[in-house]
Structure 1
Amino acid sequence: MELTEEVKELLIKTANELKGSARRLFMARTVRALGEGGQRRAKEELGWNRATIRKGEHELKSGRVCVDAFKLRGRKRSEEHLPNLLKDLITIVDGQSQADPQFRSTRLYTRLTAAEVRRQLITTFHYTDAELPTAVTITTKLNALGYSLRKVAKTQPQKKLPETDIIFEHLKQVNEEADAQDSTLRLSMDAKATVKVGPFARGGKSRVLTKAADHDFEAKATVTPVGIFLPASDEFFLYGVASKVTSDCLVDRLVQWWESVKERFSHIKTLVINVDNGPENHSRRTQFMQRLLEFVQQYQIAVRLAYYPPYHSKYNPVERCWGILEQHWNGSLLDSVDAVIQFAKTMTWKGNHPMVELVTTTYQTGVKLTKEAMQGVETHLQRWPSLEKWFVDIMYSLPVGRDN
């Protein structure tokens, strides 16, 4: 039987498109059709492997098909023989990751290199160098988990205090201790940029014809989302504030949230609050500290403030929720306060909708304590040495004359 070039090309292409026993049987039948010396001709003219042909002839003769264990071939994924690897990767990277400052992406960007992550896996979780995958593989796995090993460049150079790295080290320690203690609950709190209510374009895309005003004239109203996020349980509470966001406003939202969950968290003795160093809530803001002290005394629960350093507020976990919200409502018109609230209610974080409430209380700006009054508040505060602005404990103490 003569094999023309066209026939050879057809046989080779057909064999390549088949897999497993179907491929071997096709090769065996072809060799039979070639007659005497078929195996030799198939090897020389078609490039087929003789061992594969013989296996196909055995299957053809016996009628028994050999099952191919394709899943058992190749190198196994690292997480198959290191079952805790992905969880440990998240533990290392998550606290050192920030949201996109412009909310253009929901990915997280970390300060750590893949080599540093690998080193911490060895020193912190006691993996051996031999059993761990390479830094390139770790990069791939982190990308699949939603983390990118690069910084996000802003339009202006990032500023960095000399204490920035030390603050991050203490933050990591404080957060890990809080998450490990049953009597401590960690929450992340922050206000998003104020949303203008009106027929304004938001830069998103939509499959529905949406027409926005060609200029952003004066807004009908404004809504400032204030969020409280619980990293341990991925719960998100969102409050749409129609007034200015002040120190009183932020603490009122803390009170409002605690009133809604305190029965569920009756065992909690300490709240660790991750916040940025904003003008309404920094640790030298007298009205903010006074209101927090009142909160501690009213609910008999300790509060530990753990601040992110300046220009690094996007590392605060609640910022990730803002990224999701921005992606969720971009491309739509937020032309009423109700539209803002309804869009917030329909967003999802880790598959769950947030608890959303509208706040219409009007807050007065510029409220502050006298120096003498603030000195009295300071007697109830414990500031960490050398990091006084960034870590503050407000402890509850029984009034004099009362027993424990």
Structure 2
Amino acid sequence: MPSETLRRKFGAAWPHLDERTRRIMAASEAVSLGYGGVSIVSRASGLSRKAIHKGMHELEEGEPLVGRVRRPGAGRKSITQSDPELVQTLERLIDEQTRGDPESALRWICKSTRAIARELAEQDHPASHVKVAQILHDLDYSLQSNRKTEEGADHPDRDAQFRHLNLTVKRYLRQRLPVISVDTKKKELIGNYRNAGQQWRASGEPLHVQGHDFPGPDVPRAFPYGIYDIGRNAGFVNVGTDHDTGAFAVASIRGWWRAEGRRLYPDAQKILITADGGGSNGWRLRLWKLELQRFADQAGLTVAVRHFPPGTRKWNKIEHRLFSFISSNWRGEPLRDYETIVKLIAGTATAKGLKVTCRLDRRKYPTGRNVSDEEMQRVNLERDKFHGEWNYVIKPGAKAR
């Protein structure tokens, strides 16, 4: 019987053919058999009648697709094309769970891809856990192990503070109000010192630099204080040359407001600052709050502050959206002078449009400044009901003595 002969013929050839050559072979046999050939070949080969007719059409066209199985653009569309809101939904879904390292451009997510896929399906964006992993990889995320989430002593209200902070940020962004993430990048030695990382150079011609295991007290240092505008994906860095104090931190914020903030937000009457809990912008620091009062008075702004709970400074947006890219931009490059630092920081950019403004601040910010109880009483500060030490508002108009 012809069908049995064809079945053996196809069975011997099929393992050596791809999708297109199979249908071309089947179509050729169907044409040679004449009337009823399509049905006979379909039963013998296992191909659908539609596939065989497609092969016959390709034979009629006579245009070989050299090196291709399908025509350009053929096949099922990518899920990100058929569901253009998938990536945005995914990023919004995991936003509260992300963390970053200031020395790396990577971001981490603690939920499994299967759990994320289930939550996406609940929001009418079905995707397999394999596709979720692929999208996360393309967005520079990686799975964070439990060991690395332990950055310090856990506070029982840590997660509640994260949610409180995140809701406040979203509310301000919806109202198109300025939301900035602030912090001081680690201090940098100025001079011909080794800077971690590598750069392309001619073979056998490395840069000769000094180590900095035991730098002397007279070695100049730079204190880059960053302001990251979350809503606009823009950075402003004030490079200090003296000391990293509360006065320097607020002077950096004031510099951003005068140079960019008041132009970008001309109608703003409030501003939200997210900061970690220690350093020059720590919640215990009196000088930080006193200087914020002066800034509020000068700018006529109500300043809301949300601090990250203890041991979680790397969760601050500025760490993985600004500082990590600065570190990548100047890796392997000795920071010989302040001008070099300013140029390298200002030259930082990303594929998503990050732009950074940088300036040098040579003013003096002496340490040891004590703020008296009387001065603190003049600060027009209102604490939130939930952890008022971490969440508070400073309004313009210092209280009278």
- TMscore range, shorter length: 0.7 to 0.9
CA RMSD, aligned part only?
A: 4.1
Deviation at 1:386, TM superposition (A): 3.8
Identify the residue that residue 215 of structure 2 maps to in structure 1. Answer: 218
Identify the residue that residue 367 of structure 1 maps to in structure 2. Answer: 369
For the residues of structure 1 that align with 2:383 and 2:238, how far apart are their CA atoms? 30
Distance 1:13 1:346, change over 3 A: farther
Unaligned runs of 5+ in 2: 1-9, 33-37
Alignment partner for residue 132 of structure 1, among 119, 126, 147?
A: 126
Q: Deviations over 1:96-150 (max 9, x none)?
A: 322125x1x311113444455456557xxx724xx52244433332232222232
Identify the residue that residue 233 of structure 2 maps to in structure 1. Answer: 234
Identify the residue that residue 313 of structure 1 maps to in structure 2. Answer: 313
For the residues of structure 1 that align with 2:395 and 2:344, how far apart are their CA atoms? 38
Deviation at 1:207, TM superposition (A): 1.9
What letter corresponds to residue 229 of structure 1 in structure 2? Y
Relative to the length of structure 2, the TM-score reads 0.79
Superposed counterparts of 1:152-301, under 5 Å: 153=147, 158-182=152-176, 184-208=177-201, 209-213=205-209, 215-216=211-212, 218=215, 220-261=219-260, 262-301=262-301
Distance 1:137 1:28, change over 3 A: closer
Matched-pair contact (CA < 8 Å) for 1:227–1:237: yes
Deviation at 1:79, TM superposition (A): 5.6
What letter corresponds to residue 110 of structure 1 in structure 2? I
For the residues of structure 2 that align with 1:156 and 1:169, how far apart are their CA atoms? 19
Matched-pair contact (CA < 8 Å) for 1:248–1:288: yes
Distance 1:365 1:56, change over 3 A: closer
Number of residues paired by the alignment? 376
For the residues of structure 1 that align with 2:93 and 2:232, how far apart are their CA atoms? 18
Matched-pair contact (CA < 8 Å) for 1:25–1:59: no
SS in 2 for 1:280: helix
Matched-pair contact (CA < 8 Å) for 2:184–2:224: yes
SS in 2 for 1:203: coil
Matched-pair contact (CA < 8 Å) for 2:384–2:392: yes
Superposed counterparts of 1:90-101, under 5 Å: 90-100=91-101
Deviation at 1:345, TM superposition (A): 1.9
What letter corresponds to residue 385 of structure 2 in structure 1? P
Q: Deviations over 1:230-265 (max 9, x none)?
A: 111111111111111101111111111111121331
For the residues of structure 2 that align with 1:202 and 1:244, how far apart are their CA atoms? 21
Matched-pair contact (CA < 8 Å) for 1:97–1:111: yes
What letter corresponds to residue 237 of structure 2 in structure 1? L
Matched-pair contact (CA < 8 Å) for 1:96–1:315: no
Deviation at 1:289, TM superposition (A): 0.7
SS in 1 for 2:170: helix
Distance 1:23 1:336, change over 3 A: farther
What letter corresponds to residue 251 of structure 1 in structure 2? V
For the residues of structure 2 that align with 1:60 and 1:72, how far apart are their CA atoms? 14
Distance 1:73 1:322, change over 3 A: same
Q: Deviations over 1:168-216 (max 9, x none)?
A: 110111111111113x210111110001122222231122133344632
For the residues of structure 2 that align with 1:78 and 1:53, how far apart are their CA atoms? 28
Distance 1:151 1:227, change over 3 A: farther
For the residues of structure 2 that align with 1:383 and 1:57, how far apart are their CA atoms? 74
Identify the residue that residue 385 of structure 1 maps to in structure 2. Answer: 385
What letter corresponds to residue 150 of structure 1 in structure 2? Q
Identify the residue that residue 36 of structure 1 maps to in structure 2. Answer: none
For the residues of structure 2 that align with 1:137 and 1:112, how far apart are their CA atoms? 15
Identify the residue that residue 106 of structure 2 maps to in structure 1. Answer: 107
Unaligned runs of 5+ in 1: 1-7, 34-38
Q: Deviations over 1:343-363 (max 9, x none)?
A: 112221433441111111121
For the residues of structure 2 that align with 1:50 and 1:372, how far apart are their CA atoms? 88
What letter corresponds to residue 221 of structure 2 in structure 1? T
SS in 2 for 1:228: strand
What letter corresponds to residue 328 of structure 1 in structure 2? N
